[in-house]
Structures are given as structure tokens and as C-alpha cells.
Structure 1
């Protein structure tokens, strides 16, 4: 029989449709074959030697401290077709019942690696370390702009699932508002802390260890598990074991441990689902900048919020039921998904 499972953080329901139960190979649909040859690299704006075909570089990690383009490990450039513009004044206005906020923000592209043909299954720990180091540096820098209310690093992987360039890349967006899904999480965390004086996310980690049926992998600093009320098949959450409200505070040793975790998860997903398209998002706290007229805004956030990463393989569609109710139908029990990923073994 199906179950409706409630996520106490996102305040939403997911339908775990056990009668529709599916195994990993049921999701292996025919996928696009991508060109990785010489012609593809010649035309790729993200490859070595083609730096002039991207907007002006914002940031780069470089090998051996050298400053020439031939030695970059990651590059950050403005998105050529940004969803938000960085120039201008943040203004809020209204017309009757309707509200408007100017589209001030930042939209950046991170080129993960110089290697054009790299797939998630071939990401090594150093590549992942460099990527998340770059994520951290961009979050720190963008947090200094008081116009920005939320900064979200994310990765879309697989053509047709949010990306149209095959060269490995990720993105960072800074927004002038806090997205509703984050507001819900923040409010759930704040209310839980108000009632119990505990972090709701830390409580979830304690429950996951107690149940011990949805944990996929853990190392010294991080834990990965399939959420109890997973919306998507093989959905994963990754949390630091030690409470921290912001991804921006992660240390170099923490990044090393996180690189081990992410690399492990990428490889396990490939072994079970054969290079699946996916979305990966870092959910960190909003910048704790002063808010005029709101001196107590998110005042307990350092204690009640716990940054984390969500990874959602895109294996099922979004149809009328999901659209009309907001419920997601997940045909794989999180406990079964975790077992498949555990059985996949280490790198």
C-alpha cells in the first residue's frame, strides 16, 4: 500500500507508491550520445584556449600560483544569458495586490574543470575539491553585497535537465529575495528551535542513525542518506555532522572530507543508474546582513539552521497530479534506494 510521508522541514507531502515499485534498471532510458572529440572541443567556449569566447573572468583557481589562462583549474564567468543583472538599484514596488522587485542579482557559471569529456563518474576528489572551494569563495564574495538576500550554488547535469553545454560546469545565482522553499525550511527550523531549543536537522540526523535504514555513506565529517519523505527516486541529502548554519564557513579540511563524500556519491549513482541526469543544490543560510526595519530577521539562524546538499536524479516526469497537488509520487522507497546505493560499494 502507498504511503504519504511528510517532510517536517519542507512542510510538504510525498507519495511513496510501493505498488509502482521500480528497480534501478527500470529508469535506464535511452540517453543522448554527446560528442567529445576534437571538433566539439574546438567549438566549446569552456575549453582551454577558448577563454576569449566567454565573458570576462570573475574568479579562477590556478595551478602552482601561475596567472596565465593555460593553468586554470576552475574558472568563473558571468552567465552570457543571465536570469538576474548585477547592475542597478534594488527597488520594491506594488500595484494593487501585485508586488514587484527589480531583477537585481548575479548569475555566474563555474567551469568545473579544463577536461571537456569529464563525466560525473570520472570526477576525482581533487576536481570535486576545486569545485566546492570555488563555490565557497563565490558565496563568500557575493554575501558582501547587501542587495542579495540569498545565494545558491547548484549543478545541472545531463542535457535537457537544465544544461545545454556538455563541458562540465555549475552555476551560482544570487537573488534579491529568499525563495519560498527556503523560507519554508527556515521557518520550520526556527519554530522547531523555539519549541525544543534544538536544531531540527540535527534531530533528523540522530533519527537517521537510529533507524539506520536510509544511510548510504558517511565519513568523519559528513553523512549521506535518502530522505524519509523523498520526492524523487534515489534522492539524496548530504549534511555536515557538526552543526553549521552556512556553507561559507567550511574549512579546507572540511572541503577535503566533502570532496570524498561527493565523489563517492557520484560514483555510486553511476553504478546503480548509469550516469543519470541530476540536479545538485547547496542549501545554505541567507547572508546575515542588516535588514532595515527587521533587526530580528532570522536572529536565531546560527543555531537553528544547518546547511546541506540535495541531489535529485531526474528519472521520473512531473505530471498533472504533481502539478495540481504539490505531492510528488516516488516509485522507490527511500530505504530500498539506500540499499541499492550501499550495495554499489566504494570507489
Structure 2
């Protein structure tokens, strides 16, 4: 029997954030691909489109005209998934048919008035402006709502129907499933070890230096040991932070720089506008906004779907849906591939 090699032999990896296991099958990366391929987005986006409702001066579906903004611009989504007011559902004592109240608000945040720019083509100061608005939204909505979810879907492959650089902010009166699962597991680890899980984790990753993609004085971007998506990465602070609102001005500036680097590395990997969903997780807000929750570490997540090239994506189907998550490319190999990319986007 050959000696176990994690880069060649199948094995399970534990995700302590979710209390679940991921199947890693590196030998499958050698199989030929005859499945679906995607068409990379190559159409050039115009700087201004009079039909695009996110562009300054264009009328939206609601009849509201987007103002002539010069930096970031935030507005309430014209078709929100969550509303601030609504009738309360009836209380049921049937354990199989439970309904609860859901209140909240959904906002759209434009990064810049131009449609043909993105993090890699903006100045670091302009990216800092975006981060400052993220913090502002978290602080404002966090006074009222238990959870504020900042997220961005980049590219048509991730369901983004508007090419204008933007993200979304959903605030809810309830703790969403992903946040609830993390909160429970982070607390369990803290109660057992007396230290925040993700602070222990980032220090150990820095010592191992196997899955680090890039780092600076305040932040580390790495491929998690338990990553599910082929080129999934996590943005972690080197010093304890519980919420976005805890970041200092220097930390926001260094965060801007490192986000520009990871996006450039993604785009350089397959020479395309790399699609992904990304977002931020921190300690719950609402009535707990001022509460110390030392088991939490504020962090970001990038979840890109591409697998082998700009045209081959990873599908979460079959075994993944019915059994458990599975990946072919090891996190170590993915980190190496990203690490080797230039820090400036290809032209």
C-alpha cells in the first residue's frame, strides 16, 4: 500500500465553521472533461449606458431617477426580498409546519458612476471609499437589524444581470442559516479553548504557509483548508476584529490594497473577468451591536465557480447535493496557482 499523499489520494477534511466534512479527490483532476463549457464574457461594457438604471441620470423601474453621483451611491432595492413592514404569520403549535416573521430591507450599492471600472482599475482611495460605505451601511442598518449581509455577485455566471460595478446589502430581523451555523460553532470552540477559532486558524496558517495567497500588514487572504469551491478564498484580519465597524482607517486602506490584489490574481488566472460571489461575515448586530462577542472574527469570503479554465465550472450536483461537498483540486494547489499570478490585472 502506497504512503498517503494528500495531493494524490482521496481524503476527508473537517470544516469547524460548519461542523461538517468535505471529500477531497485530487486524482479526479486528471480525468478528461466532456461536460458543459461556458462562454467567457468578452463584450466591452460602455462607460455610460442610457438604458442602465444604475448609471447616473437614468430612470429606474420604480420611476425614480438615479442621481448624478460621483463616488458610491446606495438606494433601496426596487424589488426587495425583505420589507420593513408586513402582516405577522399565525403562530402554529405543529412541529412540522412552522412559520416565523421576517422583516428587513434590501439595498443596492453602486461602487462608482462609471460602468467600465472595477476594483483593479480604480485607485486605492476609490476602493477605500467603497469600504467606508460598507462600514457605514453596517453601522446604520446594524442599529435596527440582527444581521447585515453585504454581498456581491460578479459576472453573468453568478447571476449578475447588470454589468455596472455594484453590490447588495440585505439586513434582516433574523439570523440567516449560514450566520447561525457559524455563530454556534465559533461559540463552541471559544467555550472549549478560550480563544477565537479564526484567530487560532489564521496564526496556524501563517506558520504553515501552505495555503496563503497574499498578505500585508493587517490582512491575510488564503484558500481555506476546508474550501469547497475550487478557488475559494477567505480574507482574515491578523488582529482580532469582531465586526466591520471595528476596523480602523489604516486597516481599511490596507484592506483596499489587498482586495485589489486578489481580484487581479483571480482575473489573471484564466485571463477573464473572474466570476464569484463574495461577502462579509461578522458578529451579529441589532441589539447586540455594542455587545462584546469574542468568539467572532470578522472575515470575508470569495466563492468562485470556475474549475479548469474560463469555460469550465464546478457544478454542485449529484453527490454534492445528496451526500456532501466534494472537490478535486486540493486547496494547496489552488493557493499555489493563485499565488503565482501577478498582483496587477492583465491589460
When normalised by structure 1's length, the TM-score is 0.85
Choose the corresponding residue for 2:321, options 316, 323, 326. Answer: 323
* Whole-Å separation in 2 of the counterparts to 1:56 and 1:139: 25
Per the alignment, in what secondary structure is the counterpart of residue 49 of structure 1?
Answer: coil
Change (3 A) 1:286 1:127: same
Alignment of 1:81-120 (within 5 A): 81-88=79-86, 93-97=91-95, 98-119=97-118
Alignment of 1:106-185 (within 5 A): 106-119=105-118, 121-145=120-144, 148-185=145-182
Pairwise CA distance, 1:52: 6.2
Per the alignment, in what secondary structure is the counterpart of residue 42 of structure 1?
Answer: coil
* Whole-Å separation in 2 of the counterparts to 1:339 and 1:133: 31
- Structure 1: runs of 5 or more not aligned: 59-68, 292-297
Change (3 A) 1:152 1:334: same
* Whole-Å separation in 1 of the counterparts to 2:78 and 2:268: 34
Contact 1:223 1:238 in 2 (8 A): yes
Match of 1:11 in 2: 19
Pairwise CA distance, 1:156: 0.4
Contact 1:55 1:80 in 2 (8 A): no
User: Is 2:302 the counterpart of 1:311?
Assistant: yes
Change (3 A) 1:118 1:189: same
* Whole-Å separation in 2 of the counterparts to 1:254 and 1:8: 27
* Whole-Å separation in 2 of the counterparts to 1:235 and 1:290: 30
Pairwise CA distance, 1:106: 0.8
Structure having the higher helix fraction is 1
* Whole-Å separation in 1 of the counterparts to 2:281 and 2:132: 16
Contact 2:18 2:182 in 1 (8 A): yes
Per the alignment, in what secondary structure is the counterpart of residue 68 of structure 2?
Answer: helix
CA deviation map 1:143-187 (0-9, x unaligned): 111xx2211101100114132111111001012211222222111
Contact 1:124 1:263 in 2 (8 A): no
Which stretch has the larger CA shift, 101-110 or 211-220?
Answer: 101-110
CA deviation map 1:263-310 (0-9, x unaligned): 11000111113222101010111115169xxxxxx97x5211101000
CA deviation map 1:229-286 (0-9, x unaligned): 1100111000111101111221222111110111110001111132221010101111
Change (3 A) 1:288 1:79: closer
Change (3 A) 1:142 1:57: farther
CA-atom RMSD, angstroms? 2.8
Which stretch has the larger CA shift, 172-181 or 231-240?
Answer: 172-181
When normalised by structure 2's length, the TM-score is 0.85
Contact 2:269 2:337 in 1 (8 A): yes
Aligned length: 325
* Whole-Å separation in 2 of the counterparts to 1:112 and 1:91: 37
Contact 2:61 2:78 in 1 (8 A): no
Match of 2:234 in 1: 237
Choose the corresponding residue for 1:202, options 199, 202, 205. Answer: 199
Per the alignment, in what secondary structure is the counterpart of residue 304 of structure 1?
Answer: coil
Match of 2:330 in 1: 333
Contact 2:58 2:65 in 1 (8 A): no
User: Is 2:287 the counterpart of 1:263?
Assistant: no
* Whole-Å separation in 1 of the counterparts to 2:111 and 2:90: 35
* Whole-Å separation in 2 of the counterparts to 1:139 and 1:102: 22
* Whole-Å separation in 2 of the counterparts to 1:75 and 1:6: 40
Change (3 A) 1:56 1:317: same
